[in-house]
Structure 1
Amino acid sequence: MTDDSVRKFVIGDVEVLRIVEWQAPYVPARDLVPDCDPEVWKENRDQLAPGHWEPDSDRVVVALQTWVVRGGGRTVLVDTGVGNGRERPGNPLFHRRDGDFLGRLERAGILPEDVDFVVNTHLHGDHVGWNTRDADGEWVPTFPNARYLLPAADDAHFGPRGGYGGGVRVDDRLMYEDSVAPVHRAGQAVLWEDEYRIDEQLVLEAAPGHTPGSSVLRLASRGERAVFVGDLVHSPVQILHPECSSCFCLDPRLAAESRRRILERAADQRELVIPAHFGSGGAVEVRRAGGGFSLGRWAA
């Protein structure tokens, strides 16, 4: 592969590919992680800049990306980005995008019909967008042979039963209608809660707080481990200070509890931590450091 938006590494017998939809400096650090003192970013500049934080502008570098997991004869997509042609008036970055995501998947050797499972770690608009595509004015599942694994708690919260997220953001209703409801109508949605085992290598586990159904996907193969943590962690600064939740967390206290629990296990079991939005480096080992954590080796 020569496409710089596609990177890969291996966990045991499983190939993990990173397909980047978009990557750039985003919002000021204090806006994204409001409880984190600005001095923390400066004190950890050598670990955060330039791949995860741009000191001159004080903006956090983030990526919109999908992780592809291939092993055991299965192809699994973890989160599906923003998608093209979405009406997202509340977020100019997501509004009516026109990118080459499916082309990048194809150049990585993955056609839509090859995908067996789609995992949405939670139902925010930047994690479900390529669940569907526009077919002559109708939203249909992008991956026709896949089962879409949706956290039941998020489906209830963001769907009509929950008033589309309580009606707080108009984009939540639009997201559900164009990226989730069509999957239900096609009979491809699988709602799960607490824990869901995909196969002997992959298991989903609830990690609420960011959203009611926020989850992580654990991977184990030939003694090697990884955990896809979705939006439990937006920046490496939240590994160094796990008490700091993002501005997007619906329950910041519960999110911090889930974050610490998942990081503790990752450090103890040597799980590579793979968040949804890290820019440069994508995935990192986590080590215990006193009562907290430090950053270890980055994935190649």
Structure 2
Amino acid sequence: MKLSKFKQSENILFILFLLPAFFFIVIAQFYPLLYSFYISFTKWSLIKWKPIALVGLSNYQRVLQDSLFKHAFKISLIFACITTPVELVIGFLLAYMITGERKIYKITRTILVIPMTIAPVAVGTIWRMLLNTRAGLINYLLQKIGINGPNWLATPSTAFFSILIVDIWEWTPFAMIIFVAALSSIPVDLFSAAQIDGASRWQILRYITLPLIAPITVLIVLFRFIDSILVIDIIYTTTYGGPGFSTNVITFHIYKQALKYFNITYAAAASWILQIFCLLVAIVLLMCSGKLQEKI
């Protein structure tokens, strides 16, 4: 009985310690989320300060009919569809080459992970300086070998290419480090048995390694695809959505609508459309990961 009372008091104390964090999460996360959902169905302006009026789905209709929203969503999809597979392939190749207990592998992994540890805003600022047309290091090095470097951030095609490179440089280490963990978890006995049976390195990779890490691969795709869709840091610090609308991704479009044009209800509706899209992508990919896990 005494032990039971002690356990009860311990549980109560545990709950009391958790309450501040719980209330903080509710206030900082759920309340803004629910409030944004509410105002997405209203007509309200930060400038005119008129009473809030419910307008139903008109904000969502306005967003879906907006050509700028469609363009921004298209840019984000293209961005994510390029960066995700490139980061996945390069990350796997790097992981495949440096997985092991050798000291040189550990040092290499530590060095390659550095870009991921830098704040995205700092990454964007660094690359903006590197890509500077007149004083940037990249154009300086190109000039040294007789090549006139382009205006990286001043023309639509090169600006979009530049932000692709920045994102790939920063987040390929994420895929690499997850693949290293996945490859390290595969029992060595499987490889030894396959080699005894005469399997080549390519056959081991194709029929043992890739199938075993397939569920993890899907999860990497999930994290990187959604994160690429939601990218804003490097856009804000490098191109600011330009030139024109060539790098005006969906998150930056929503940001400008909310904080530059004070179109709060539009931004709220657009945010929820984006959130629902990301949720659907997550559900599909998690189902794929679950099915692959069952086959192993």
* Pairwise TM-score range, normalised by the shorter structure: under 0.3
Give the TM-score, by structure 1 length.
0.22
Q: Which has the higher strand share?
A: 1
Q: Which has the higher helix share?
A: 2
Per chain length, whose mean CA-contact separation is higher, i.e. which structure has more relative contact order (CA < 8 Å, sep 6+)?
2
Give the TM-score, by structure 2 length.
0.22
